[in-house]
Amino acid sequence: MKLKIVENAKIYFLIPAVIILLGVVFFFVNGGFVQDIDFAGGMTMYVDMGKDVDTAEVADTVKSADSSIPTPRVMKADGTVIVIQTTHVEDGTRDKIQTKLVETYGIDRETAFISVDTVDATMGAELRSQALTAALIACLLMLIYITIRFEFFTGISAVICLLHDVLIMLSFYVIFKIPFNANFIAAMLTIIGYSINNTIVVFDRVRENQRKSMREVKSLVNTSISQTLKRSLYTTITTIVPVILLYILGVDTIKEFALPLMVGLLAGTYSSVFMAGSVWAGFKSLSKKRKLAK
């Protein structure tokens, strides 16, 4: 059965447009993105508790060490190791936190505290800048490569789909007030590579069908997507199932990476199947009209 993707392009574009618009609205309502320690700056403390502990109880314990400490974020890392994150605290306050943990849980002060790192806000700004630069360079190189392998309109369409995927991930984070951290950056760059692969599969089939004398753009795109649909869905399913399991069974730090991956995988599959071909068809139709007008 041949799908009518191009004919229903407005509907398929409307769905992500609504999500992105909601993201913009929540961005202003929430006063911007919620930034994790990686971006906002603060203290990260790795502690081996020697046993499984309730992270909420540990957070209450840390909070009780000093009334000036804002509500900390406590996550499980590996085995009995936990991660405690707070905004910037003085050395004296940090000592109070360690003393309170020793008194409450009976851990060894000399061996339990694996590391205590302080991240400055300027480092977070530098991380954001480097991530943005990496994403832009990746998109530019992909545009050049795809233009050489296919054509310019194909490259532009692919980059637009990548922009869609990133905006959907950003909108998801701002709508649900999920803190941004380095895991999001890693997931975003991973999805850029994954999504472009799915999109190229569609355009490769479009090129093959063009060589078979299929000249009508809508029919060409619809046929090509129909032929690659199973492959795209199977690839996504086999990729997202392990990621879901990581999110369910993994520790908190793994979940922070798995969550944006799941969102990005779904967004990437959607843009590859329901948007890439239609965007390309729109560019081709516009180009044809301009040539006829001349």
Of 95, 50, 29, 42, the closest CA to residue 73 belongs to 42
Q: 165-195: per-residue pLDDT in tens?
A: 999 999 999 999 888 888 888 899 899 888 8
Q: What is the reported pLDDT for 229? A: 92
Distances (CA, A) of 195 to 138, 219, 255: 13, 24, 21
Supply the DSSP symbol for 2.
Answer: -
HSE, side-chain direction, 13 A CA sphere, residue 89:
28
Report the C-alpha gap between 45 and 62 in whole angstroms. Answer: 11
HSE, side-chain direction, 13 A CA sphere, residue 121:
5
Helix axes 252-274 and 182-211, enclosed angle (nearest 10): 20
Contact, 182 vs 196, CB < 8 A? no
Report the C-alpha gap between 105 and 75 in whole angstroms. Answer: 16
Q: 62-99: per-residue pLDDT in tens?
A: 988 887 777 788 888 888 999 998 888 787 888 999 99
HSE, side-chain direction, 13 A CA sphere, residue 214:
15
Token pair 């990686």 in the structure block, residue = 38
Instruction: Please report the domains of the chain, with CATH numbers, ordered by start residue.
Output: 9-35+123-293 (1.20.1640.10), 42-119 (3.30.70.3400)
Q: What is the reported pLDDT for 1? A: 58
State what percent of residues in the chain have pLDDT above 70: 97
List per-block mean pLDDT (blocks of 10 residues) for the chain, which spans 294 residues.
Answer: 84 96 94 80 88 90 83 85 86 88 90 84 74 87 90 93 94 91 88 89 90 79 91 92 93 88 95 94 85 72
Residue type, 163: L
Residue type, 32: G
**Dihedral, CA of residue 125, residue 129, residue 131 and residue 134, to nearest 10:** -160
Q: Which residues pair with 47 in a beta bridge?
A: 82, 113
Report the C-alpha gap between 274 and 226 in whole angstroms. Answer: 11
Supply the DSSP symbol for 177.
Answer: T
Angle (nearest 5°) at CA 283 between 280 and 289: 140
Residue type, 35: Q
